[in-house]
Amino acid sequence: MRSTIARLVSIAAALLALHAAQGAAAEAPSRGSSIHRAVFAEGRLWLLDTGGRLSSLAEGGERSDVPTPDPVMELLTQDQRVVIVTCPEQSCSSAPVARWIVRRRVGDDWETVADIATKGEQFRAATSTMLLTDSRMIDLAGGALAETALTSRASDPITERPKPQAGEHFRFGGSWQLTGSGTIDLTEGMPWQAPARSPLVRPKPLRSLPVAAVLVTPRHVFVGYNAGEWGGGLQRIDRTTGVVSDIDDVEGDLCGGKLNPACDPVNGLAVIPWKQDCIAVAVGLIHMLAHGRIVEVCDRAVHLLYSHEIQERLSTADGRPGSMWTYTSAFFGLQQTGEELLAVGHDGLYQIGRGDLVRQIPLPRFRPADGLAVSFDMPGLVLVLTTANRRFSLSGSTPMLLPR
């Protein structure tokens, strides 16, 4: 047991040393919460921390706080302009919230784009064209607010949670566990105890997990979740009917399969340039060991697109060669660049092209910039290191990939 723990600690130390070798600086604690979202617009990098505070940074300049009328829930861009979603409450996470306000930056002021009354639901995410709650899809394009109710597939029955037997321990549906003492609900990203005898439950169409990526295509909206060591997964919304479907590939026990919602955080989504009816999905987690892959999703079929295997031989306490450990690169961002895909892993950038063509590019050197670790060195890109994933896993700092 001690030797196993020692090996895990050694591997974790090796991963952290890799970040240090790349010049990765941790975010300064004086800035408070870690960076949750970042975009590049209006010639600046805009940053939203997990406490709802907005700041900005120009290349070579100093980071400055940006006043907002209300706490910020989401940060995005629309026509190269900065857009935020706010709530007029002291804390946007407190329930119930009366309304959400979409605001666009004009000069140094904020122009209201939409004022949306809530219906007792939870905000999930927003893009330049729509806002998602756990039960509604609200179209922000064209001025008028058209909404579509989200529903689970008609074939999905109401689920009755079976009573666990003494000592029983297994996952059900990738979102909760049964034990001999009760039900552990994982849908909020942190476990809590509930009575073992639960009534019939029909879950909300969208999961109550942190949303890491949203991709809007002509027919669908894809939502990727990152709950760290508690998994994540992928859901798809039909834009015409509002029907929400789970997209997964699960094999065997525990974490088997190419896209397992119990174990696979989804950090990036992009349309595959050479296969326009399919999307690429970036999976990545560092929890002691790195774990990840890029998969393609065509309709409901999931196939492996790329995985980078890493082998590392550990040393024993007396310096002799020890066991060989194998793990895979964890991917934390993905975007389409011309006729290729560009993915950012914990160990470098990966250009993925048609016909299994993959080229690895070392991560650039990150420079401290007023409490941040940022790189503007690559043309058309900005990379930011964030510690936001530490809330859910032992990940250290992980890179965000932003187009500019």
Residue 139: predicted pLDDT: 92
- DSSP string for 162-211: PPPPTT--EEETTTEEEETTEEEE-TTSS-EEE-SS---B---SS-SS-E
Task: Count CA within 13 A, CB hemisphere, residue 294.
Answer: 29
If DSSP codes are grouped into helix, strand and coil, which group holds residue 221?
strand
CA distance 398 to 71: 25
Residue 320: predicted pLDDT: 77
Residue 64: predicted pLDDT: 92
Low-confidence ranges of the chain (pLDDT < 70): 1-33, 90-91, 93-95, 142-143, 153-203, 388-396
CA distance 324 to 220: 43
Residue 389: predicted pLDDT: 60
CA distance 229 to 396: 13
Residue 397: predicted pLDDT: 73
Residue 24: predicted pLDDT: 39
Give burial (CB, 10 Å; 0-12/13-18/19+) of 151.
Answer: middle
Domain borders along the chain are 68-149, 159-201
CA distance 328 to 345: 10
Residue 304: predicted pLDDT: 96
Q: In this structure, what token pair is assigned to residue 87?
A: 């709530």
pTM: 0.80
Residue 170: predicted pLDDT: 35
What digits encode the pLDDT tens for the residues 138-172? Answer: 998 866 789 999 998 654 444 444 444 444 433 33
